[in-house]
A and B are shown apart, each in its own frame.
Chain A
Amino acid sequence: MANLEVVPFRIEVRDAILNDLHERLDRTRFPNQIEGIEWGQGAELQFLSELVGYWRAKYDWRATEARLNAFDQVLTEIDGQRIHAIHARSPEPDALPLLLVHGWPGSVMEFLDVIGPLTDPVVHGGEARDAFHVIAPSLPGFAWSGPTHELGWHPRRIAGAFHQLMGALGYERYGAQGGDWGSVITSNVADLHADAVVGLHLNFVVVSRPKGDDVPPLTAEEEAGLAALSEWRASGAGYQEIQGTKPQTLGYALEDSPVGLCAWIVEKFDAWGDGSLAINKTFTFDRLLDNITTYWVTGTATSSARIYWEMRQARRDAIPQARVEVPTGVANYPAEVTKMPRAWVEHRYNVTHWVDQARGGHFAAMEVPDLFVPDVRTFFRTVR
């Protein structure tokens, strides 16, 4: 492996980009909405107008930028692609390096509230033995790792790049955690580099039904989970179909219209959180906009969508070929749409930890950091 040049990085979005964003928000053209439909045809008008109003008048990107810049960040180039990562070192000498990987439509912003407790548990009411060095990269094509410039950045190639990143930072033995695409990517890391990955923790997992007759019958709860997933595929997966086939066609609108980008992303935080955005306030305006503004200021709505296209091209070449033998922890959050029967998951992963969480959904680290952090600690205690 060639030595990678890793340089320190700070986020400094130019004033001109923020001013341009404000001018665009000022001239937003809203569509109408069918009477009484609420979120039934997608992002709800009233909620979106309030969010956009807040984005224009109150949201403070510079505060978020400062929060992010409080962490060490690095930039490097791997396999021809610019890669950005948060690199938050623990003060504890025995801390375990942890590769923390986000998905779509998320970003490293999802992890802002968990990095402190994971790296420095003692000052957050935890124990020194649970400390991690946290490495949270932006996926190629996403945010400050974007855009991509060539074909082929599917999850398995990203996994190889992230393993190289860990090596370049001096980590030869580490844990990995992921949800959404982060789950597919960290599973590939564990499959490709089982000697380096001591444990794999997933808050999202997708597998197919094992072949053969020795599959145990499904419980009623598992049946219901699969039925809900199937209904979601019919009614909620349009974004995958367009991003998987014509990401460029969609991208022009998302790159040019902040309200369009906002609607495209925020609908998912409504659908995949534990309760609705408007009623339960599952995510605050500020946390939603941290993530949305990250896509906007980096101009990566198009290149981030391409991961769906790449997955469709690569298919089985982009997932582990064999059962993942690295010890694996699985956390099931109740509002996660993708719920897999445990026996199916065990067929593909060496599951040593299985937790049904009380609250939370797809963006677990962001939505329920109070549950996410102790669960990650508990699992990794078993593999340190």
Chain B
Amino acid sequence: MKLEQFKVDVPQAALDDLHERLARARFPEQIPDAAWDYGTELEYLRDFVAYWRDEYDWRATEQRLNNFEQLTTEIDGANVHFIHARSPEPDALPIVLTHGWPGSVVEFLDCIGPLSDPVAHGGDAADAFHVVVPSLPGYAFSGPTRERGWHPGRVGKAWAELMAGLGYSRYVAQGGDWGSFVTTQLALADPDHCAGVHVNMLAPIPMTEDHTPEEDDCLAGMASYNEHDSGYFKEQSTKPQTIGYALDDSPVGLAAWIVEKFRTWSDCEGDVERSFTKDQLIDNLMLYWLTTTAHSAARMYYEFDKGLKGGSLDLFSKLTQPVGYARYPKEIMRTSRRWAEAQHQISHFADMPRGGHFAAFEVPDLFIPDVREWARTRR
């Protein structure tokens, strides 16, 4: 595998262009008192965009990313960018952390240090990981995909190659959102080397005839999502190119499209900044904007749908590896312990007290110890 060193180095012209676009943003009006009922709220977004233009400091984030070793390689015809944080501990366990949509490697920035170098972060050397954090094909610094078929199954196979290329013959994997699908697909594709997986999202699949109240609650959450919150999914799975033109041409449009998800899917009680700072939200947006990948990121939905219908994506084969599952209270796609156990060999089940869909990003203080605890059983 041919690896190339990578540094983030955004030309000043791209930042100037962004600032000009933000300065001339054309906002729609909003129904008075609509709040977030029709989608992203106008006054919130105006303030957010003003902060983005006037105060946000991309170069600080760029530096933060560049403090990690980053590499690119080509796998199965796609460019793959990844952070590679090797632990100073010789017995560290390799782990691949996979983000989803509308996230990026930025979600894991606060976790990489504690996971790779626990001693320097008040932890135990026995909990050390070599951390690999790739950008999904089509996302951010992996760049747009150029051919069809990049669904989570194909990404899982690519990650198996990536880990082999890095010389990791025994590793574990973690993910949420698309990352949870990629992680289980990786386990399926690479049973000899992938020694266990941990996910923070599992779909509620009714595996029993009776339902407990908790299971009804999980199903009701999914039903409500299907009814009220999945329009983006239905558009991105059918016409990702159509929506892509607007998102790749309008930073304010991209912000509205993405920030709404961070608000809806986090444990923020309606105030997204209880869970994420503006800087964090913008860091993530910048990875989409500066790489013009909103359209290619959206394709994951299209490919997932095609992969399922065409049979090239297998979600139902049983994994041979044990599965760790952390259930965060504000994750929409949650299942019960017994349904999880009917699907997978669950070796670790953690009910988390706080947090939502973007667990590593929102509650690293819970995410890190939970991943450590699960991994102790896989070392």
- The number of residues on chain B lying at the interface, defined by a beta carbon within 8 Å of a beta carbon of chain A, is 60
**Which residues on the A side are within 8 Å of B42 (C-beta)?**
248
CA distance A35 to B292 in the complex (A): 17
Q: Is A34 interfacial (CB-CB < 8 Å)?
A: yes
Instruction: Confirm or deny: B55 has a beta carbon within 8 angstroms of a beta carbon on chain A.
Output: no
Determine whether the beta carbon of B246 is less than 8 Å from that of A254: yes
Residues 93-122 of A, flagged 1 when their CB comes within 8 A of B and 0 if not, give 000000000000000000000000000000
Beyond A241-B231, A246-B231, A302-B28, is A252–B40 a contact (Cβ under 8 Å)? yes
Report if A275 contacts B (CB, 8 A). Answer: no
A20 vs B40: C-alpha distance when bound (angstroms): 25
Establish whether residues B28 and A34, one from each chain, have CB atoms under 8 Å apart when the complex forms. no
In Å, the complex CA distance between A211 and B17 comes to 59
A382 sits at the interface (CB 8 A): no
Q: Which residues of A from 29 to 44 have beta carbons under 8 Å from B?
A: 29-35, 37, 41-44
- Whether A253 pairs with B252 at a CB distance below 8 angstroms is yes
Q: How far is the CA of A242 from the CA of B20 in the complex (A)?
A: 28
Cβ B238 vs Cβ A238 within 8 A: yes
Q: Which of A188-196, A260-268, A360-368 contacts B (4 or more CB under 8 A)?
A: A260-268
| A303 on the B face (CB < 8 A) | yes
Which of the 9-residue segments A71-79, A142-150, A279-287 touches chain B? A142-150
Give the number of residue pairs across the A-B interface with Cβ within 8 Å.
Answer: 206
How many Å lie between the Cα of A144 and that of B350 in the bound state? Answer: 56
A256-B250 CB under 8 A given contacts A238-B236, A299-B26: yes
CA–CA, A238 and B305, complex, Å: 13
Known: A242-B231, A244-B231, A256-B253. A249 touches B17 (CB 8 A): no
CA distance in complex: A248, B40 (Å): 6
Q: Which of B8-61 contact A (CB under 8 A)?
A: 17, 21, 24-32, 34, 38-42, 45
**A contact residues, range:** 35 or more
A:51-70 near B, CB below 8 Å: none
Q: If A35-B146, A260-B247 touch, does A247 touch B236 (CB 8 Å cutoff)? A: no
**C-alpha gap A247/B244 in the complex (Å):** 16
Query: Which of B21, B242, B257 has its CB near the most chain A CB atoms (within 10 A)?
Result: B242
Interface residue B211 (Cβ < 8 Å from any Cβ of A): no
| A246→B247 CA distance, assembly (Å) | 15
Q: When chains A and B are docked, how far (Å) is the Cα of A257 from the Cα of B294? A: 14
Q: Mark B253-273, 1 if CB is under 8 A from A, else 0.
A: 111110010000000000000
Which of A20, A33, A256, A267 is the one whose CB lies under 8 Å from B252?
A: A256
In the assembled complex, how far is the CB of residue A39 from the closest CB belonging to chain B, in whole angstroms?
A: 8
- Check if B235 sits within 8 Å of A257, measured CB to CB: no
Say if the beta carbon of B299 comes within 8 Å of chain A.
Answer: yes
Interfacial chain B residues near A44, Cβ < 8 Å: 241
Residues A239 and B235 in contact in the complex (CB < 8 Å), given A29-B249, A31-B144: yes
Hey, which chain A residues are within 8 Å of B253, CB to CB? 252-257, 260
The answer, yes or no, to whether A251 is at the interface (CB within 8 Å) is: yes
Residues of B within 8 A of A239 (CB): 235, 239, 242
Besides A31-B292, A250-B257, A252-B252, 9 more A-B contacts (Cβ < 8 Å) are: A31-B144, A32-B292, A245-B230, A249-B39, A249-B40, A252-B250, A255-B253, A264-B245, A299-B29
